[in-house]
Amino acid sequence: MLWQAKTPTSSGSYVDMITPSSYKIEWEDLDSNSYRSITNGNLIRSRLSSKWFKGNFTFNYITESDLETILPIINQYPLQVKIKSPLFGTSGWLECECYVSKVSVEMVRNDPVSGSNTNNQWVKLSFNIVQSKIVSGQ
């Protein structure tokens, strides 16, 4: 389990989410009016906060049912999540308010189910999560 989210039906509690096929976690500092000195090239940096979270999640083969579960959750704003990563220190978890700025859905496989008139739809889902509010320690 790599991430949890508060869902519209979870009464304010975090719910374990489906584990992605792959994910990438990044940090980014947020600066204000940083520039390089024209005399010596040193960075003159006015850092507002550090370690802003960005994540990219990919689910290679999920069912339409799983897709229909995930999409309403990541469509929330603000999206309340807990993300696991070694970048987040000894506890390994970051709890933050985020938003999803890009989503991609692709049908990757359509297998007829043996002896049935229905099809088994497999989809690929990718999305990113971006932290939207500062948390303690940033």
Structural domain spans, the chain: 3-30+51-131
> Measured between alpha carbons, how far is 82 from 95 in angstroms, rounded to an integer?
4
Q: Are 52 and 39 in contact (CB under 8 A)?
A: no
How does pLDDT run across 83-132, given as a tens digit for each residue?
988 887 777 888 999 999 999 999 887 665 555 555 667 889 999 999 98
CA atoms within a 13 Å half-sphere pointing along the CA-CB vector of 127: 17
Is the entire prediction scored with pTM above 0.75? yes
How does pLDDT run across 22-59, given as a tens digit for each residue?
999 888 877 778 878 899 988 887 777 677 889 999 99
**Residue 33: alpha-carbon gap to chain centroid:** 28
